[in-house]
């Protein structure tokens, strides 16, 4: 899903590390970087969570919105918000994290994950100032490339 | 607690990855290596769990009993057995793991952890063929030293 | 030396991995990324050389000029060009590497290193399309930040 | 070459980090651990050299003799003793390192490497108290296993 298209609205049941809900449409004019993860996904814990933390530290001061999305599609009983809260505390994740809303029909895939047709975790979303989903990356991406791709969006003019 | 003393019995409420309970006294004649951890402890996940898996792979064929102990002393709601089960599955931990029994008095520290006066997680226990607790290590120990210490116990004669 | 100033010309006695000398002034219109290193500097080998290789792979196709500079200021006998050639072969460094020219006065610090007043190795130089030295970083910089800083220069218009 | 056989004598042209030559036969009664490496071999630098340093620190106080052997079979001009000396200084290798003597017939393989029929670097040699070569490992061995194998030899009685 690399072609540009408007990034679908997220369906979040609860925001952690944030005083208020983060509405995607309200971010127009800013770039948004999201990392969809599961707290019990080993690749997320070893790579994506450190990247999420480093992106938050580096790009938030530059005006980007950096958030995590907890997109639980397996082991639902083990990754409820109370467990996520403990995880974020222990791993010192300080950026906002939205809990992807459970499927309406009782299915395993939560709503945002389904709408973005994510293939698994981790998945990175890069959304530009105009609200277009410019990149969706499933799995591993190097820090060097991630930094470059985010900066590319940051360099685009606000009225681009 | 480096001086030798008989290793106190464990109080385990449930064994995972094991067809039966593992009774410590019944292991006399074999050496026992235990790694006490919490599934949401970052240092456990990055270091101690890989060590537990490697010890199980290397030393079980040599006759050692290698087990994990899930000693939850914080975030109890987030680390119940159903969450531990998902964790062990995702991190491919195949060795037996005992769930340290909750305190009788409603306290935070589980029973085995309390009896061994563990200071936190991870904690490694090395128990010799005669049932003596020869080493209790809190925190990080290098693989080189861990391998050496376990082999030292394995080299001791059975009637030592 | 973070304020912008024209990047001084390099003094290179020999170019490896390059059919011709790379003249810094001739690169106007392109951004130039240089990593000054020593082949026997542990921090260079463990961090900067992998970064140099990754930068070359990622940013050369985007029009950047990525080079190494071998700035030997100690153990000169051990790091002659014949040793450097073996090092580049073994570590699979494929980008151009210039050998910083020895001091004219018999001093230890080679000429380019002296002119840029580098404090040691590794040192990264980021030069923009107009030939200005925009960043000089001594020591460690994270991949995330390095990727972002290079992309920022790449996003500047050619007639900036 | 895992079957036990007497460890052939080494042919060393120069010892570094040692006040005197280390004669293998004179070590009877002690176990000897050698790591054959090349200073420009990436796998040696990233894995075997840290292992050599850790073995020296851990097992020398326990009575083992831990040494490096610089077995140069390629890029000879780049890895002369003066370069090795700089390498050992920069990487803070403090244990004795013997320079494997060049072939008598002008061949590329140095004498000790040839006699032990090493396939490349790194190669670890574990020699027991009686002078038998108990293990010869080419390539990577985990720290856990390395620690265990060395301790196994240390646990054997001196008159074994």
> Quick one: pLDDT at residue D120?
98
- Closest CA in chain C for residue A152: C151
Q: Is the pLDDT of residue B54 over 70?
A: yes
> Quick one: pLDDT at residue A141?
98
Q: State the complex-level ipTM.
A: 0.94
- State the pLDDT confidence band at A1, using cuts at 50, 70 and 90: very low
Q: What is the per-residue pLDDT across D79-109, written as a single tens digit (0 to 9) for each?
A: 999 999 999 999 999 999 999 999 999 999 9
Least confident range of A90-104, B2-16, C21-35, D136-150: B2-16
Q: Is the pLDDT of residue D4 over 70?
A: no
The minimum CA-CA distance between C16 and chain D, rounded to whole Å, is: 16
Peptide bond into D58 cis (omega under 30): no
Mean of pLDDT values over B101-115 = 97
> Tokens in use for C132?
């200005």
DSSP structure class, residue B43 = H
Q: If you count them, how many residues does chain C have?
A: 160
Q: Which residues contact A115 (CB under 8 A, 6 or more apart)?
A: A8, A11
Q: Is the pLDDT of residue C128 over 90?
A: yes
Mean of pLDDT values over B127-152 = 98
> Tokens in use for B27?
């292991």
Torsion (CA) A108, A113, A119, A121 in degrees, nearest 10: -90
On whether the CB atoms of residues D156 and D134 are closer than 8 A, the answer is: no
Verify whether the Cβ–Cβ distance B87 to A42 is below 8 Å.
Answer: no
Peptide bond into D122 cis (omega under 30): yes
On whether the CB atoms of residues D128 and D153 are closer than 8 A, the answer is: yes
The minimum CA-CA distance between B69 and chain A, rounded to whole Å, is: 18
Verify whether the Cβ–Cβ distance B42 to A85 is below 8 Å.
Answer: no
Specify the pairing of strand C65-70 against strand A12-16.
unpaired
On whether the CB atoms of residues C29 and C131 are closer than 8 A, the answer is: no
10 Å CB burial of residue B36 (0-12, 13-18, 19+) is: buried
Residue B131 half-sphere exposure toward CB, CA atoms < 13 A: 10
- State the pLDDT confidence band at B4, using cuts at 50, 70 and 90: low
- State the pLDDT confidence band at B1, using cuts at 50, 70 and 90: very low
Mean of pLDDT values over C69-93 = 98
What is d(CA D37, CA D72) in angstroms, rounded to the nearest whole number? 8
CA nearest to D56, candidates D84, D39, D34, D72: D34
Verify whether the Cβ–Cβ distance D144 to B149 is below 8 Å.
Answer: no
Q: Is the pLDDT of residue A160 over 80?
A: no
Mean of pLDDT values over C55-59 = 98
Mean of pLDDT values over C34-47 = 98
Mean of pLDDT values over C77-89 = 98
User: What average pLDDT does chain C have?
Assistant: 96
> Quick one: pLDDT at residue D159?
67
Determine contact: B76 vs chain A, CB below 8 A. no
Determine contact: D149 vs chain B, CB below 8 A. yes
Q: Is the pLDDT of residue B160 over 80?
A: no
Torsion (CA) A109, A111, A116, A120 in degrees, nearest 10: -30
DSSP string, chain C: --S-EEPPPP-EEEEES-SS---SGGGTTS-EEEEEE-TT-HHIIIIIHHHHHHHHHHHGGGT-EEEEEE---S-GGGS-HHHHHHHHHHTT--S-EEEEPPPTTS-SS-HHHHHTT--SSSEEEEE-TTSEEEEEEES---HHHHHHHHHHHHTS-TT-
What is d(CA B100, CA B69) in angstroms, rounded to the nearest whole number? 6
> Quick one: pLDDT at residue D158?
81
For A54, B25, C5, C78, the CA distances from C39, given in Å and listed in that order, are 29, 57, 29, 9
On whether the CB atoms of residues C58 and C148 are closer than 8 A, the answer is: no
What is d(CA A144, CA C141) in angstroms, rounded to the nearest whole number? 11
> Tokens in use for C123?
């040192």
Verify whether the Cβ–Cβ distance D82 to C77 is below 8 Å.
Answer: yes
For A15, B84, D35, the CA distances from A104, given in Å and listed in that order, are 19, 27, 61
Q: Which residues contact B115 (CB under 8 A, 6 or more apart)?
A: B8, B9, B11
Q: Is the pLDDT of residue D3 over 70?
A: no
What is d(CA C23, CA C13) in angstroms, rounded to the nearest whole number? 12
Mean of pLDDT values over A1-13 = 83
Give the chains touching B; criterion: ≥3 Cβ pairs < 8 Å: A, D
Mean of pLDDT values over C79-89 = 98
Determine contact: A76 vs chain B, CB below 8 A. no
Angle, vertex CA C82, rays to CA C76 and CA C85, nearest 5: 110
> Quick one: pLDDT at residue A59?
98
Q: Which residues contact C54 (CB under 8 A, 6 or more apart)?
A: A142, A144, C143
Q: In D, residues 2-41, which contact C (CB 8 Å cutoff)? A: 40-41
The minimum CA-CA distance between D117 and chain C, rounded to whole Å, is: 22
User: What average pLDDT does chain D have?
Assistant: 96
What is d(CA B143, CA D145) in angstroms, rounded to the nearest whole number? 8
Give the chains touching A; criterion: ≥3 Cβ pairs < 8 Å: B, C
User: What average pLDDT does chain B have?
Assistant: 96
The minimum CA-CA distance between B132 and chain D, rounded to whole Å, is: 19
> Quick one: pLDDT at residue A3?
53
DSSP structure class, residue D118 = -
What is d(CA A97, CA A12) in angstroms, rounded to the nearest whole number? 10
DSSP string, A15-43: EES-SS---SGGGTTS-EEEEEE-TT-HH
Mean of pLDDT values over B29-55 = 98
On whether the CB atoms of residues C100 and C14 are closer than 8 A, the answer is: no
Verify whether the Cβ–Cβ distance D143 to B147 is below 8 Å.
Answer: yes
Q: Which chain B residues have a beta carbon less than 8 Å from that of A40?
A: 83, 86-87, 90
Determine the angle formed by the axes of helices C49-59 and A143-154, rounding to 10 degrees.
50
- State the pLDDT confidence band at C2, using cuts at 50, 70 and 90: very low
- Closest CA in chain B for residue D146: B144
On whether the CB atoms of residues D46 and C91 are closer than 8 A, the answer is: no
What is d(CA A40, CA A73) in angstroms, rounded to the nearest whole number? 11
State pTM to two decimals.
0.94
Determine the angle formed by the axes of helices D143-155 and B143-155, rounding to 10 degrees.
40
Which of the pair, B3 or D74, is modelled with greater confidence? Answer: D74
- State the pLDDT confidence band at B158, using cuts at 50, 70 and 90: confident
- State the pLDDT confidence band at C4, using cuts at 50, 70 and 90: low
The minimum CA-CA distance between C137 and chain A, rounded to whole Å, is: 16
Of C54, C154, C156, the CB nearest to A144: C54
Verify whether the Cβ–Cβ distance A82 to B79 is below 8 Å.
Answer: no
Q: Which chain D residues have a beta carbon less than 8 Å from that of B54?
A: 142, 144
What is the distance of C-alpha C58 from the center of its chain? 16
Angle, vertex CA C27, rays to CA C22 and CA C33, nearest 5: 80
The minimum CA-CA distance between B90 and chain A, rounded to whole Å, is: 7
User: What average pLDDT does chain A have?
Assistant: 96
Run of H or E including A50: helix A49-59
> Tokens in use for B7?
């290793």
Q: Is the pLDDT of residue C150 over 90?
A: yes
Q: Which chain C residues have a beta carbon less than 8 Å from that of D74?
A: 86
State the sign of the Cα–Cα–Cα–Cα dihedral D51, D108, D16, C74.
Answer: negative
What is d(CA A53, CA A32) in angstroms, rounded to the nearest whole number? 14
Q: What is the per-residue pLDDT across A40-87, written as a single tens digit (0 to 9) for each?
A: 999 999 999 999 999 999 999 999 999 999 999 999 999 999 999 999
Run of H or E including A111: helix A111-115
What is d(CA A3, CA A97) in angstroms, rounded to the nearest whole number? 26
- State the pLDDT confidence band at C160, using cuts at 50, 70 and 90: very low
- State the pLDDT confidence band at B15, using cuts at 50, 70 and 90: very high
DSSP structure class, residue B58 = H
Torsion (CA) B77, B80, B83, B87 in degrees, nearest 10: 120
What is d(CA A98, CA A34) in angstroms, rounded to the nearest whole number? 10
């Amino acid at each position: 899903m690399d072609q540009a298209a408007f990034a679908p609205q997220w369906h979040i049941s609860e925001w952690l590390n944030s005083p208020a809900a983060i509405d995607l449409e309200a971010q127009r004019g800013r770039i948004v970087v999201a990392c969809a993860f599961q707290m019990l996904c080993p690749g997320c814990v070893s790579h994506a969570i450190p990247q999420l933390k480093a992106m938050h530290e580096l790009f938030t001061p530059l005006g980007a919105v950096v958030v995590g999305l907890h997109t639980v599609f397996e082991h639902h009983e083990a990754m409820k918000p109370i467990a996520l809260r403990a995880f974020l505390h222990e791993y010192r994740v300080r950026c906002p994290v939205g809990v992807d809303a459970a499927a309406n029909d009782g299915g395993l895939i939560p709503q945002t994950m389904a709408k973005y047709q994510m293939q698994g975790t981790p998945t990175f979303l890069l959304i530009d100032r105009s609200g277009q989903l410019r990149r969706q990356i499933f799995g591993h991406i190097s820090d060097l490339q991630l930094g470059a791709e985010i900066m590319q969006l940051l360099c685009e003019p606000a009225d681009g």
